[in-house]
Amino acid sequence: MAKKESRRSFLELATALIGGILSLAAGIPLIGFAISPAFKKPESKWVDLGLADRLKNSRFKKVDYTFMAKDGWVQATKKRSVYVTDAGNGEWSVFSRTCSHLGCLVRWDAQEESFLCPCHGAIFDKTGAVVAGPPPEPLQKLETKVEAGILYVKET
C-alpha cells in the first residue's frame, strides 16, 4: 500500500514538474513578445513640411503638421507645431513649440525676438536657448533636409 502511495506521489510530482517546465517554455517567449515594443527605440522619420520655396525667408513662421508614429503597439496620428526660420542662405532652423519645462506650447514674439511660454513665464532666445524661467533645456531644434524642393524635418 505504501509503495502504491509513493508511486502516486512521484507521478503527481513528475506531472507538476513537466507542466511547470512546459508553461515556462511557452510563457517566456509570449511575455517577451508582449513587452518587447516597450524597449524598442522609437523610429525616426522624415516628415514633409512643404515646399522650401514657399517657406524661404521665413522668420519664425508657425507650421502645423501631422504624421504617423508607432508607440509600442499603438500606431497613431500625432500633431506637431514648429517654428521655421530661414536665414536666406538655405540654412534652415526648425524649433519645436513644446516647452522643455512641462510641455506647454511656446509662441514667437517678433517684438521681443524671443519664444515665450505662457505657463511659467519661460523665455527662450532666437537660438532656442533658455533666457529666463524654469526650463532645464533649450527648445528642441529638429534636424532638417531639403530634397526635390521639399523641406523635411526629422521626427522621432
Distance between the two ends of the chain, CA-based, in angstroms?
A: 70
Q: Interaction with ligand FES in 21-40: which residues (CB under 6 A)? A: none
Q: Give the CA angle between residues 11, 17, 19 to the nearest 5°.
A: 100
| Contact between 117 and ligand FES per CB under 6 A | yes
| Contact between 116 and ligand FES per CB under 6 A | no
Beta-bridged to residue 109, according to DSSP, are 114
Cα 30 to chain centroid, rounded: 26
Nearest approach, Cβ of residue 129 and ligand FES (Å): 14
Per CB under 6 A, the segment of 6-14, 30-38, 131-139, 147-155 that binds ligand FES is 131-139
Tell me if 140 sits within 8 A of 130, measured CB to CB: no
Among 63, 116, 119, 150, binds ligand FES (CB under 6 A): 119
**Chain residues that interact with ligand FES, rule: CB under 6 A:** 99, 101-102, 104, 117, 119-120, 122, 133-135
